[in-house]
Amino acid sequence: MPQDYAALIAHGLADSGGMAVLDPATGERIANVRTYSSAEIDAIIRAAETARKDWVGETAKFRANRLRAWFDLIVAHREQLAEICTRECGKPLAEARAEVDYAASFVEWFSEEARRAYGEVVPSFAAGKAIIVTKEPVGTCAAITPWNFPLAMITRKSAPALAAGCAMVIKPSEATPLSALALEALAVKAGIPAAILRIVPSADPAEVGKLFCTHPVIRKISFTGSTAVGKLLLSQAGSTVKKACMELGGNAPFIVFEDADIDAAVDGAMIAKYRNAGQACIGANRLLVQQSVHDRFVERLAERVGALKVGNGMEADSQIGPLINDKALQKVEMLTDAALSGGAARVCGGGRHNAGAQFYTPTILTGVRQDMAIAQQEIFGPVASIIPFADEADAIRIANDTRSGLASYCYTRDLGRAWRVMSALEYGMVSINEGLLGTEVAPFGGVKESGLGREGSRHGMDEYLELKYALMGGLSG
Is 440 one of the annotated active-site residues of the chain? Answer: no
Selected catalytic residue, list 247, 440, 449, 455: 247
Sign of the CA dihedral 157, 240, 167, 160? positive
Tell me the three state secondary structure of residue 227: helix
For residue 408, the one-letter residue type is: S
CB neighbourhood size of 308 (10 A): 18
Please give the C-alpha separations between residue 282 and each of 2, 279, 327, 437, in angstroms, as whole numbers.
33, 9, 20, 9
CB neighbourhood size of 88 (10 A): 25
In eight-state DSSP terms, residue 151 is T
Is 281 one of the annotated active-site residues of the chain? Answer: yes
- The span from the CA of 151 to the CA of 4, in Å, is 18
- The span from the CA of 457 to the CA of 34, in Å, is 34
What are the residues whose beta carbons fall under 8 Å from the beta carbon of 411, sequence distance 6 or more?
254, 255, 256, 257, 260, 261, 264, 265, 268, 432, 433
- The span from the CA of 174 to the CA of 181, in Å, is 12
Is beta strand 345-348 parallel, antiparallel or unpaired with respect to 363-366?
Answer: antiparallel
- The span from the CA of 265 to the CA of 290, in Å, is 12
- The span from the CA of 284 to the CA of 271, in Å, is 9
Q: Is 330 exposed, middle or buried (0-12, 13-18, 19+ CB in 10 A)?
A: exposed
Q: How many residues does the chain have?
A: 477
What backbone phi and psi angles, to 5 degrees, belong to 78?
Answer: -55, -45
Q: Nearest-CA neighbor of 84 among 154, 172, 21?
A: 21
Angle at which helices 177-189 and 152-164 cross, to 10°: 40
- The span from the CA of 139 to the CA of 220, in Å, is 8
Query: What strands, in cross-sheet order, belong to the sheet with 252-256?
Result: 345-348, 363-366, 383-389, 284-290, 252-256, 407-411, 429-432
Selected catalytic residue, list 281, 440, 449, 463: 281
Q: Kindly list the catalytic residues.
A: 247, 281
